[in-house]
Amino acid sequence: MIGCLLAVAAGLVGFSGAAFAQSAATEAAQVNAVLAANPTAHQRDASSVEFPDGTRFIAAPRIGAASPAASCRRGAVCIYSEPNFTGFSKPFVAYGGYNLAAYYMPNGVKWAHQTSSYINNQTGGAKANFARYDATGGYFVGIDECRAYCAKAHLGSIDNMIDKVTLTP
């Protein structure tokens, strides 16, 4: 229930596949709603809120906003719960594999099957691999990869299918 309330209050419900831009007032309202629902979080900048575990909420971009890479620090791979690099964001910085079922968004939902966009902001051609879990075989199956720097605002047929992120040199 809190997750649904948070999504509605933050204006995350009803995104379409089209690019979304908004006014600074709407952006501020989204940020304020997330802060009100999450007292342990703090406002990072005009368009984002950071939670104690490092997860971020990023409001839908306003007209004239900075590039999406600005929301993902250099050297990181960031996944986003909504298209266009918005919603909740989770950064990964160390090489290795990350089973998303072990990570939770601030609304209590596991990150598995929740990724709708991503940025690989690593350096030197480092690779990010994305996989889904095959329950019948009990293993992960690769579904996408990208070398630094790359970003996908819409995941199309693999939207909400990613269960594992692996960072390699």
Structural domains of the chain ordered from first start: 2-168 (2.60.20.10)
Question: What is the SS3 assignment for 165?
Answer: strand
Confidence of residue 63 (pLDDT cuts 50, 70, 90): low
**φ and ψ of 118, to 5 deg:** -155, 160
> Span 43-47, mean pLDDT?
82
Residue 119: its pLDDT value, please?
A: 95
Whether the per-residue pLDDT at 52 is higher than 50: the answer is yes
Single-letter amino acid code for the residue at 155? L
Whether the per-residue pLDDT at 56 is higher than 60: the answer is yes
**Ranges of H-type helices in the chain:** 2-9, 24-37
Q: Please give the residue that has the higher pLDDT: either 29 or 9.
A: 29
CA atoms within 13 A on the CB side of 16: 4
> Span 110-122, mean pLDDT?
95
67-71: Cβ within 8 A, 24+ apart: 68/119, 68/151, 68/153, 69/119, 69/121, 69/149, 69/151, 71/47, 71/119
Distance CA 49, CA 145 (A): 28
Confidence of residue 77 (pLDDT cuts 50, 70, 90): very high
Counting residues of the chain whose pLDDT is more than 70, the rounded percentage is 80
- State the pTM of this model: 0.70
| Tokens 């990150």 found at | 111
